[in-house]
Amino acid sequence: MTIVTVVEMPEFQRRARAIISDDERMELIGLKARNPMSGVSIGGGVRKFRFARAGSGKSGGYRVIHVFSPQDGTPVILITVFAKNEKANLSKAETE
């Protein structure tokens, strides 16, 4: 199994500090490093990944927006994170 580098953008770091524990953040980074293609494509190389909140399932957990392009060897870039109860999906403007 190949481990991929994971980079946290400032927006992701800011949002993660507000809603995710350090242990959950490290678990998330480990999951993305081991399985960078997980989640669903929302276009343009951007993916949405559901991550279970402690004491809750994936459906009530967090949404992580990230970019990964296996063809060019770039790292997984974590763009932002939000709780599903904040927002279920990104708007069209946010995905562009």
pTM, entire model: 0.82
pLDDT above 50 (res 95): no
Evaluate whether residue 1 is within a structural domain: no
Per-residue pLDDT of 30-60, as tens digits, reads 999 999 999 999 988 899 999 887 766 556 7
pLDDT band at 91 (very low <50, low <70, confident <90, very high): low
Contacts 24+ apart (CB under 8 A), 71-74: none
Instruction: Report yes or no on 42 lying in a domain.
Output: yes
Print the domain residue range for 69. Answer: 6-95
Mean pLDDT, the chain, rounded, equals: 85
Q: How many domains does the chain have?
A: 1
Residue 38 resides in a domain: yes
* pLDDT at res. 69: 85
CATH classification at residue 19? 3.30.2310.20
